[in-house]
Structure formats: structure tokens, C-alpha cells
Amino acid sequence: MDGPPANDCCSVCHGSFNTPCQANCSHWFCGNCILLVWDHGSAIQPCRCPLCRRQISLLVPGEASSRRRHDPEVAEILGKVATYNRLFGGHTNGLIQMILSGVYVVSPVDIIPEGILGIVGLLDDLLIVLICFLHVSAIYRSVLYARHGSS
């Protein structure tokens, strides 16, 4: 969706959207309003959606906000949104960690060897596979965000 629904309003200020941003839970807010919600909470944790209480790990500015980047007020809000996304968006530079995790899974040296403990020995390998999956999903999300931000 390129912008909030036409008949909708920001659930924080109850006004028309000003620099609309969509959270990862699909709810729309004014960029400044959702940043104020975060400012009044913990600075080291992402804020929670005022509607569904899910943690907001990604804010995607609407297309109208992106077109108004030259406006100083909008540019400031978009800069704060970018900072929020850097802190909580799950961007990862863990490609080396992923490669090392893969080498660990296929190597005969394990913390819990399968030869001694059987099926229980697979648990550490499954944990590494889960970590690899989480890295891939974080990279995929950052690619989607970069693609959306560049259009």
C-alpha cells in the first residue's frame, strides 16, 4: 500500500496523517506521532503499536512522505525514522556469521556430537540452522526496505 486509507486518521493524534509511516504490524501513523510514542518509552527498545501492542521493528514512510523529502520538516522526520529503523530494523552484517554457522553444521566437530548422544546431538545443529534462517530473513527484510525506500 502506497499510503494510509483515505478515510483513516492517525490513532495517536486523531488527525489527518502528516508524514505517514506504516509499521511492520500494518498500522499507519504520523511519523512524528509514532516517534513521540517511542520517545516517551524506553530508548533502548522499540516501541509497541498503540493499536495492537506488537513491537514496531520497522517503519516504512508512505510514498507521499518520500516525495516531500525536500521539505525540511519532512526530511527531519524521515531522518528520525531512518535512525529508528537502523536501531530496531534487524539490519545485519552477519554474512560471515552465517558462513561460519554453515561450516559448523557440516563439520564433524560439534559441541554436542551426534555419534555420542544421537538425536540429542542434533539440537545444536538445529539451533545453528535457526540462527542462519533468522539472518537470511533479516537480510531479506533490509532488501525489501531498501527497495521500498528507493522507489
Does 15 score more than 90 pLDDT?
yes
Band (150; pLDDT cuts 50, 70, 90): very low
Q: Where are the alpha helices (DSSP H) in 18-110?
A: 31-39, 63-67, 72-88, 95-106
- List b or e across 43-54, with b for residues whose CB sees 16 or more CB atoms inside 10 angstroms: eeebbbbbeeee
Full-prediction pTM beyond 0.85? no
Domain ranges of the chain: 20-89, 95-140
Does 108 score more than 70 pLDDT?
no
Does 113 score more than 50 pLDDT?
yes
Pairing of strands 59-61, 28-30: unpaired
Q: Which three cell numbers stand for residue 150?
A: 528507493
Does 126 score more than 70 pLDDT?
yes
Per-residue DSSP letter, 106 = H
Among 35-39, 69-73, 103-107, the range with the most confident prediction by mean pLDDT is 35-39
Mean pLDDT for 29-57 is: 89
- CATH code of the domain made up of 20-89: 3.30.40
Task: Please choose, from the candidates 91, 64, 94, the residue with its C-alpha nearest in 3D space to the C-alpha of residue 77.
Answer: 64
Q: What rounded mean pLDDT belongs to the chain?
A: 79
